[in-house]
Structures are given as structure tokens and as C-alpha cells.
A and B are shown apart, each in its own frame.
Chain A
Amino acid sequence: MLALFAAEPPKIDSGGTAWMLMSSALVLVMVPGLALFYAGMVRRKNVLTTMMQSFVAMAVIGVQWVTVGYMLAFGQTAGGIVGWEPRLLGLWGVDWHAMYGDKGIPELAFVMFQGKFAIITPALIAGAVAERMKFSTYIVFILVWTTFVYCPLAHWVWSPDGWLFKMGVLDFAGGTVVHISAGFSALVLALMIGKRRDYLPGLATEGFVILPHNLTMTLLGAGLLWFGWFGFNAGSAVAVEFPVSGFSAALAFTTTQTCAAAAGFTWLMIEWVHNGKPTSLGLASGIVAGLVAVTPAAGHIQPWSAAILGVLASVVCFLAVRAKNRFGYDDTLDAFGVHGIGGLLGALATGIFCIYNIAGEANQGLVFGQTTQIGLQALGAATGIGMAVFGTLLIGGLLNVTMGLRCSPEEERDGQDLSVHGERGYHQDIGS
């Protein structure tokens, strides 16, 4: 933690507490935002099941987090590997007026804030396997993945006892813990589950084409994600001690806004020059790529760095999305191209642009001639990638032989809305 100010006595800070509660709600609203963002890009027959993949994470991980998740991620460390503190099981031993460390906020506010991150992270993976993953298997997957991949990784990077934290790896709001882990897991799961029956890479002008069914939903979703991301990033100033956290939050807010705007504009211009059309989905994709990239860096870089990072994020993620068409794997909604690659870029960029490190020493980025931090960032990112790839291979492999990852060919052809959920997202305006 930053040690710029002497430790305050454990007194509740009303502003900080209010901002943490608000930030927790903002991060939660990203989940319906993600649901809209994803669902607009699939076909009508899968609109509900795609939204359900986001919404069900709120229900499942919302319970997992207070049961075991918080303990595994933020409990007292067992060898720096995972949290293990039985009093946190079911939050049984958390006194309702307990404070969280030297941050001036109640512990329960911190529990809730972190819980929202645990909810949205596995929901991001759903984008790679949309329109074909079996719903029951998906629920088991996100539960097991959050418990055995997300929680340990969060412990390593964010718990003061975690081994990556102790080494000095920076991840302000989850570039490694959230986006690298979800993005690379998404790639592995998409490769394991295979392409959709109608997916024809490189044959964009013939054959059966898959088009987004409602891009207005996707744009609204991107807007909600941007809105919620202020809680995600500026809320993550909670890791900084009171009262420095207030300044840190304002910095993270500014870099988040700057990076998202620069990235959105860049993607739009790339498409305009490259394809002749500035598409709405391109702008939305750029915004999300910028938000992803700035996540690990938000409270550690200056606004001008955030603008540069935004431009880089859109160039790199645009190329990553194009590469998908070349390699021919079916990452349905580009969870890997945007979150995996954008998260990786952000993690490394934190080492390039950071203005202070975990010990509070100034100007530690590569642009200031320092190489230590970028090395640490590469280590953190590589660890996140390794954990995501091996964890997903193991969990996905086990579920593939037990429950099956994929829905039946008939369900895939007819859409899962009716066969899985017994509902349709849209009805014809006849007889209504």
C-alpha cells in the first residue's frame, strides 16, 4: 500500500464508504450491460440464453462469493496460494461493524465490491461460447472456474499476502485477474467446444451468414459498461489507504474516461479508413477495448498515457479480432480478442507508463527509464495466462466428458431460447 500518510485510527470515512457502496452497484450494472452488449450480437433465437449467461452469474456467483469465494480470495493466506480463514465461510465471523484495514470503510462494503468482480469475470467468458454452450454445463463451469481459477488468482494479485502482490505486480482493477483470466479462458473454451454449425470463416460474402440481430442493444450495453466501469476502476482505489484513495479514485476516473474515448474514436477511424464505413459496433468495440486496457493501469498512469493506451488498445484489438477470421476459430463475440488481448496490453502498459509502484516510489514505468516494473507486469500477465489456460483445460475437459460442453445439434439449429428456457425473446405482433 501507499505509505504517503500516517495510518489513521480505524474511523469510518463517510465519503469513502458511500463511494464503495455506489461503486459496488455500478459494477453490478455492468452485468446487465454485458448481457445487452452480447445479446445484440447473437441471432434472435438465442437472445434469452445469451442474456441468461450473464444474469445467472449474478445469481450463482452472488451466493458462491459470500459462501467461500471471499474467503478463498481475501482470507488469511495459506502459503500465499489461497485464502483460508474459516471465520469467513458464509461471512459467519464477519462482525457487521467490522472495518476493512486502514481504508476507512466497513469490511462488508469491501466484500460486496469484490463480489461484483467475481460475478462479471466468468460472465465475460460466455461471449466466446455463445449460441452453442450447454446451459447446465455453463452454470457448473462458472461456479468451479470462479472457485479454482478466479479466487486463487485474485488472492495472488490483490491480497496483501499474495505472492504476486508481494513481488510488486500492479493490477489496479483487474487487467490480469479479470480480463486476462477471462479472455484466455474464453479462447481455450472456444477451441474446446468448436465452431458453431453455421460459422464459415473467410466466406463472408456467400453461404449462410450470421449477423447481429439487434445492434441497438449492443450500443446500449456498451454505454452501460462504460458507466459501470467508473465503479470498477475508480472504485478500485479502495486498495489505497484513506485518505489518498480519494485522489487515486479521481485519477482512475480520469484515465478510464480518456482511454475509453481515445480507443472508441481510434477504432471508428480505423474502420472508416479500412472499410469505408464507421460502424456502430466498431465504436462500441473500441470503447470496450479501451476500458479493458486501462483497467490494470487506471490508478497508476497519467491521463496523457491513458490517451496513448486507448489508441494502442484499439489498434491491437482490431488486429486480434481480424486474426480470428484468419485462424478460423469461433470466438463468437470476441471475448479473447478484446478482453484477453486488451487485458494483456493493459497489464504491460502499466509497466510502461506507471507513475508510482506498489511501494509508492515515483516514476517506475519504462517511459521513465525503469525496467523493473514492466518485468513484473510480464510475470503477472504470464501467471494469469497460465492459470487461465490450465484451469480451463482441466475444468472444461472434465465437464466435457461428464456433462458435455455443447448443446444438441437440434438445440443449436433451433436456438436455445425455446428448448432450454421454454421462452422466446420476441413474438410476432399477432394476437398480442
Chain B
Amino acid sequence: MKLIIAIIRPERLEAVQTELRKVLDENDNYRLTVQAVEGHGAQQGEVQYFRGQAIRPRLIPKLQITLGLNDDYVTRAVDAICAGARSGSVGDGKIFVMPLEDCIRIRTGERGGKAI
């Protein structure tokens, strides 16, 4: 099992969801958690104006999506996120993939791959 954490542009969420649905939905809704986050990388902040002064806040609003996946689904999920989230400009975000030790479905107590 793997845990995928992806940071994406807020306006790309809809496209990412569409791509993920194509590869992860199997007569069921795939599981997804989305959080609003702020951070900075190579991208310059968006320019705002305050009392006539141009201001560029360092922190830029992004969305962070979290997905738990069985190993077979990881590559196609990563490809789907890239397809949905890529604009080609600096600031498209990042995907982190990490091993997932366990997963428990709270309602039934099922564990591991079945619970994902």
C-alpha cells in the first residue's frame, strides 16, 4: 500500500478529480481527502494591492489531496494527477509517494488492502 500526497493548484482540482475517476472508480466512488494549504516554492506569489502598494505574499494558496492506494493503482493514479494538474507553468505542485503501513476502516474494523 502507498500513501499519495499531492499539492496542486486550486483551480486544477476538478480536472484532477475527473482524471482520477477514470482510473480509480470501479463501480464505486474512490476515496479522496482535500485540504486547503499555503506554501512556497519556485513560484512567485500572486500580486495584491494594499493602499496602492503592490504586495507579493510569500505563501501561495494550494490544495493538498491525500489518497491511500493499493500498489497496483499507484502508477496510474500518479499519471492521472499529473494529467489533471499540469499547466506547464512554475507552480503546478508536487506529488509525494510513500509506503503505507496499515489502513483500518473504522466502521467494520477491516484492515490492510481491503480497507483502502
Partner-B contacts on A (CB < 8 A): 204-206, 209-212, 271, 274-275, 277, 279, 281-282, 285, 318, 321-322, 325, 334
Contacts and interface: CB of A to CB of B under 8 A. Distances in A.
Contacts of A209: 55-58
A322 B51 CA distance: 8
B57 A285 contact: no
Nearest to A205: B56
A204 B54 contact: yes
Contacts of B54: 204-205, 275
A210 B51 CA distance: 12
For the complex of A and B, list the 10 residue pairs with the smallest distance between their C-beta atoms, beginning with the closest.
A204-B53, A205-B56, A279-B49, A204-B55, A209-B55, A277-B49, A209-B57, A321-B51, A275-B49, A204-B54
Nearest to A276: B49
B50 A281 contact: yes
A215 to B, nearest CB: 9
Which of A204, A271, A318 has the most chain B CB within a 10 Å cutoff? A204
Identify the interface centre among A209, A212, A285, A322: most chain B CB within 10 Å of its CB: A209
A317 to B, nearest CB: 11
B48 interface: yes
A204 B50 CA distance: 9
Contacts of A334: 51
Contacts of A275: 49, 52, 54
A282 B52 contact: yes
A274 B54 CA distance: 11
A318 B51 CA distance: 9
A211 B46 CA distance: 13
Interface string B13-42: 000000000000000000000000000000
Interface of B: 48-58
Nearest to A285: B51
Contacts of A281: 49-51
8 contacts: A204-B56, A205-B54, A209-B56, A209-B58, A212-B50, A277-B49, A318-B52, A321-B51
A272 to B, nearest CB: 11
Contact of B52 (A206, A210, A321): A321
Q: Is the interface of B mostly helix, strand, loop or mixed?
A: strand
A282 B56 CA distance: 18
A334 B51 CA distance: 9
**Which of B48, B50, B52, B58 has the most CB atoms of chain A within a 10 A radius of its CB?**
B52
A282 B48 CA distance: 13
A322 B50 CA distance: 11
Contacts of A277: 49
Contacts of A205: 54-56
B52 A211 contact: no
A325 B51 CA distance: 10
Contact of A271 (B48, B52, B56, B57): B52
Contacts of B50: 210-212, 281
B60 to A, nearest CB: 13
Nearest to B48: A211
A363 B53 CA distance: 42
B48 to A, nearest CB: 6
B16 to A, nearest CB: 24
Contacts of A211: 48, 50, 55, 57
A281 B51 CA distance: 7
A173 B54 CA distance: 36
Contacts of B58: 209
B58 to A, nearest CB: 7
A271 B52 CA distance: 7
Contact of B49 (A206, A271, A322): A271
Given A204-B56, A281-B51, A285-B51, 15 more contacts: A205-B56, A209-B56, A209-B58, A211-B48, A211-B55, A211-B57, A212-B50, A271-B52, A275-B49, A275-B54, A279-B49, A282-B52, A321-B51, A321-B52, A325-B53
A210 B50 CA distance: 9
A203 B75 CA distance: 45
Nearest to B57: A209
Nearest to B51: A321
Contacts of B52: 271, 274-275, 282, 318, 321-322
